[in-house]
Amino acid sequence: MDPATLSAELCVRLQHTDAAGVIFYPRLLELEEELFERWLEAGGLQLRDMLVTRTLAPTPVVRCEADYRLPVRVGDRLTARLVLVEAGQSAFTLGWRFERAGAVAMEARVVRAAIDPAAGRSVELPPALRAWIDASRATANR
């Protein structure tokens, strides 16, 4: 992921498609998860910090939505751009636009909430994550 533009290039692979040869609807959310991990890494954070070392509160998905605007097929090259960043006390939203040859093909919005896994409740966003969210907001929300 390019930290300056918060964008990444993707290629639609066979495993992303269904029998009709177009992207299978849950695969968009798998691509979003990959982009989320790349976004964390661009900010100097690691998913491992949430799931293994627990130096950051985990942020599971609490809401997701997707829109499919154009057929996306095997071999299509997409540019994924972070176009929306919103944050509250314990949750944040990332909105992605997937373009093919400059046309919007798909969009995804995912809300994640920081949690205390032992207590099973939300907690405030960790300061390091909050800082990356704030830095990303200026680039994405233009």
Is 18 within the bounds of a domain?
yes
Is 2 within the bounds of a domain?
no
Q: How many CB atoms lie within 10 A of CB 30?
A: 12
CA distances from 81 to 53, 104, 133 (A): 29, 11, 15
Q: What is the CATH number of the domain that holds 90?
A: 3.10.129.10
Integer-rounded Cα Rg, in Å, for the chain is 15
| Backbone angles phi and psi of 104, in degrees to 5 | -70, 120
* Domains contained in the chain, number: 1
Is 1 within the bounds of a domain?
no
Is 55 within the bounds of a domain?
yes
pLDDT in tens, 48-62: 999 998 889 999 999
pLDDT in tens, 30-39: 999 999 999 9
Domain that holds residue 30: 7-140
pTM exceeds 0.85, yes or no: yes
